[in-house]
Chains A and B, each alone.
Chain A
Amino acid sequence: AQKITQTQPGMFVQEKEAVTLDCTYDTSDPSYGLFWYKQPSSGEMIFLIYQGSYDQQNATEGRYSLNFQKARKSANLVISASQLGDSAMYFCAMREENYGGATNKLIFGTGTLLAVQP
């Protein structure tokens, strides 16, 4: 069964420092996608970054990068130069790709609450 594990319930980081949020996944399918979403207290899930299982390079989006280690089944999110506005809940999610058909469901982890301190 597919599963996402986020082992860090909460993290603190000093403003302007980098932080790594851990995510491991389990799936038997060869083709899948990995996502990170940010959820502020307002509730909206904000898409941050995507990594496909066949992508050769780690995904990057501005200050966000995904450290994808396929053999270890890990997809850690790295946030560089943390800002106060980065304080939020962060969710790792996985989707099995389904070419030629409709979207498959996203499976989410339990999230990591990040607090950026001034």
Chain B
Amino acid sequence: ETGVTQSPTHLIKTRGQQVTLRCSSQSGHNTVSWYQQALGQGPQFIFQYYREEENGRGNFPPRFSGLQFPNYSSELNVNALELDDSALYLCASSFVLAGQETQYFGPGTRLLVL
């Protein structure tokens, strides 16, 4: 158990819709990162939030956005869903101290876009 939870576990949407995925980090963790894992591939970094501000972004369009809250929870929002957005979405939390930390992942949300 990593202490990181995600909801929902599974989700089905249609093209053009919007979706919000949620993550609850370990207490005290000040950093959350989101990753997209397409079938048969390794996770790809979407973005990272540090103390409630975006601090690093991967090669994802602006329709992928996020929020981090003071209570260690966070959200990933995806607008105008496309078929290629179908994937496992993972959040990872960590406490950054002098750059040395380990990211702990949640169980993921499986999103299917029809």
Contacts and interface: CB of A to CB of B under 8 A. Distances in A.
Nearest to A4: B42
Given A45-B90, A108-B42, A102 B108 contact: no
Interface residues of A, number: 29
Contacts of A50: 102
Interface stretch (B11-19, B20-28, B48-56): B48-56
Contacts, number: 80
B96 interface: yes
A106 B99 contact: no
List 3 tightest A-B contacts by C-beta distance, closest first. A108-B42, A102-B50, A45-B105
Contacts of B98: 99-100
Interface of A: 4, 33, 35, 37, 42-47, 50, 52, 91, 93, 97-111
Q: How large is the interface on B (under 10, 10 to 19, 20 to 34, 35 or more residues)?
A: 20 to 34
Given A108-B42, A109-B42, A103 B107 contact: no
| Chain A interface, DSSP helix/strand/loop, else mixed | loop
Contacts of B100: 33, 52, 97
A4 B101 CA distance: 20
